[in-house]
Structure 1
Amino acid sequence: MFHSVHHPGRLPLGPRGQAVVLDAPGTSRLVEHTPQRPGPGEARVDVHAVGICGSDRDVHLGRRPAPYVRYPLTPGHEWSGTVAAVGEGVSASLIGRKVVGEGLRNCETCARCRAGETVLCAAGYQETGFTLPGAMAPTLVLPARLLHTLPPDADLTAAALLEPAAHATAAVLKACPLPGMRAAVIGSGTLGLLAAQLLGAFSPSELTVVGTNPGRADLTHRFGATAYRTWDRASGLSDFDVVIDAVGGTSTASAATSLLRPGGRLVLTGIPAQGAEGLDPARVVARQLSIGTAFGASAGAWSYAVRAFSSARLTPLELVTHQLGIDEFERAMELTDSGGPHGGKVLLLPRTS
């Protein structure tokens, strides 16, 4: 067992600054941040950047189901940073390493965790930025076992997108892609484009992205798509081997089945909408479609995404359109609510104001 080079009573406290706190839906404030000493098995990370997604917006507006949020809360589950200190039982070699980290706290001992399905942990739901303190603060303390280390030259701004990339990876792995397949992705937002780039690594013969914004065509091609269609121009699209629904809209899952060939595979991800149009079981069975789901990312999906990023097979930096200081949290929420220019990604930099 490794131990920190620091005595727990003399750990440097590191950067101070301000943190976001949501006391209740729609009620946010900035508070002075006091870095916490990591306990046994924990690490403290100096946060470089934290991404904002639709689930953060739902927490801000009070739309996240009660079992999956706990106020008051410091949000922030998509983040990157550098390890500043470690607690007892954690190798001191982590200090100074660039890292990202899993948000879901799993027990590692239940049947599902032992099978590698850590997102289905039987211990109950706990997640950084939703029920536990998140990364919209200068520092973050979490179990060191959840960290994934990055190369020394990694771009930490780009790495802040590895959390949604891990979700996209989970969807792609559920799709079981093969070289030469015909693939389609529904959605040209962050999740959809990351899924497209990951699918591109499997050398599909065709990779079509279907979205709503005509202005996304060039960007989708840079992320590996061979074609981009808006829904009003999607008639005639069919016979895809694999379709990933990265939107979770009220009609996208049903529409996705029409894009598949008989025997094709559909993977549903994103944030499913309440009251969505149902899938016709008779049509699914008659056409022998396979339907999978991806909600969250297992440790294996995280590892795959980090390897793809470290080998430059996953290059998400172009998706970032705004980098704001922590004191611009409310503006960041507004930009995310509107989708930002062309649906770009908004980052907060907790150590910049």
Structure 2
Amino acid sequence: MRALVVTGPGKAELQETEPPVAAPGEVIVDVERVGVCGTDVELFTGEMSYLHSGRSWYPLRPGHEWCGTVTAVGADVDADWLGRRVTGDTMLGCGRCHRCRTGRHHVCADLAEIGISRGRPGALAEQLAVPASALQPLPDTVDLTLGALVEPGGNALRAVKGAGLAPGGRLLVLGTGTIGLLAALFARARGIEVHLLGRDPEGLRLARTLGFEGAWTRPSLPELAWDAVVDASNAGDLPALALDLVEPAGRVVCIGLAGTPSTIDTRHLVLKDVTAVGVLGGSAGLAGAVAAYADASVDARPLVAATVGLAEGLEVLAGHRPAGAGQGPKIHIDPRR
């Protein structure tokens, strides 16, 4: 089969590789759509911290936002999975430790991440092997575009839940990339008043197109009471800004990661009685994201600017936007093309 493999920093190629065989407990998925995210780009450029800590290594095959159809099952897997449309959890815990047994497999000490760490191949290929325990079925009302947006949607939904707001609460989202816009969409679907802070004109323009009139730059941000702030950016100074802006006894949710350490004044955190929440992975949010896409309370499809073939994915990883791409921050790849 064809697969897109990153062989070193800034180096990737299409390869003909042996198709996967389902081990016990696994299924084989014919991959139909894959999203490219910032983690994939950092794995390509060599900036990803896992490459320096030994948690990831070259060669590697990225792709952890995906959907497809189950075409084979291994031993101990229910044959009813055959022919079903699915996506899946990126985070694969050992299944035996205390964290896994208490529903926290995404922070397992032996965690492997599909397309990211521990040598687990990702979805930028015609087929993918996945543990059946990680599968998330997709109803017919969730198309390929939405199916490949379930994983980032799960992350964003967890961030919204972490904000802890009831309908009518006011949320400020820092960042107008994929996760920031998804968080805004999920929050609005829950009856929350949503505002976004960004610096990218395209991202702000898309936010307004999506119906968010409160899309601001830093100089234009109004002085409102922000009940919670979600930092979905990669800027090292924004966690401190989030703490400055949030109401006393409010919540700051950090889901973005900067390339350098971020600093906050914990005296400020304590004296404002603020709750700080970190979000890693979409595991606990996947089912909720599927449900919101299925009932059309969240339509994330405008976030996808273009869908290209596997060969064009080489240019996408290198940071090039396809000709004719729309406003959205997300590029999808169809490995069948």
User: TM-score of the superposition, structure 1-length normalised?
Assistant: 0.88
> Is this contact kept in 1: 2:157–2:183, CA < 8 A?
yes
> Per the alignment, in what secondary structure is the counterpart of residue 233 of structure 1?
coil
Give the match for residue 312 of structure 1. 296
1:23 aligns with 2:7: yes
Match of 1:75 among 62, 69, 73: 62
> Per the alignment, in what secondary structure is the counterpart of residue 231 of structure 1?
coil
Q: Please tell me the residue identity of whatever aligns with 1:35.
A: P
Q: 1:217 to 1:24 in 2, by over 3 A?
A: closer
Q: 1:149 to 1:181 in 2, by over 3 A?
A: same
The Cα of 1:233 is off from its aligned counterpart by 1.4
Q: Please tell me the residue identity of whatever aligns with 1:330.
A: L
- For 1:50 and 1:185, the matched residues in 2 are separated by 26
- For 1:241 and 1:195, the matched residues in 2 are separated by 15
The Cα of 1:341 is off from its aligned counterpart by 6.0
1:266 aligns with 2:261: no
The Cα of 1:216 is off from its aligned counterpart by 3.5
1:7-86 aligned within 5 A: 16=1, 18-65=2-49, 66=51, 67-86=54-73
> Is this contact kept in 1: 2:67–2:144, CA < 8 A?
yes
- For 1:169 and 1:263, the matched residues in 2 are separated by 22
Q: 1:153 to 1:282 in 2, by over 3 A?
A: closer
The percent identity for this pair of structures is: 35
> Is this contact kept in 2: 1:52–1:336, CA < 8 A?
no
1:141-152 aligned within 5 A: 141-152=129-140
The Cα of 1:163 is off from its aligned counterpart by 1.1
Consecutive aligned runs of 4 or more in structure 1 exceeding 6 Å deviation: none
Moved more, 208-217 or 318-327: 208-217
- For 1:336 and 1:203, the matched residues in 2 are separated by 37
Q: Please tell me the residue identity of whatever aligns with 2:247.
A: R
- For 1:309 and 1:77, the matched residues in 2 are separated by 19
- For 2:292 and 2:75, the matched residues in 1 are separated by 31
**How large is the Cα RMSD of the aligned pairs?**
1.9
Give the match for residue 190 of structure 1. 178
> Is this contact kept in 2: 1:55–1:64, CA < 8 A?
yes
Q: Please tell me the residue identity of whatever aligns with 2:228.
A: V
Q: Residue by residue, what CA displacement relative to the aligned partner does 1:12-61 show, whole Å, maximum 9, x if unpaired?
A: xxxx4x11111222221211143222121111000011111111111101
1:164-243 aligned within 5 A: 164-204=152-192, 206-223=193-210, 225-234=212-221, 236-243=222-229
> Per the alignment, in what secondary structure is the counterpart of residue 292 of structure 2?
helix
Give the match for residue 261 of structure 2. 275
1:298-309 aligned within 5 A: 298=283, 300-309=284-293
Q: 1:343 to 1:271 in 2, by over 3 A?
A: farther
Match of 1:94 among 78, 81, 106: 81
- For 2:103 and 2:111, the matched residues in 1 are separated by 17
Q: 1:59 to 1:219 in 2, by over 3 A?
A: same
**Unaligned ranges ≥5, structure 2:** none
Match of 1:292 among 277, 286, 290: 277
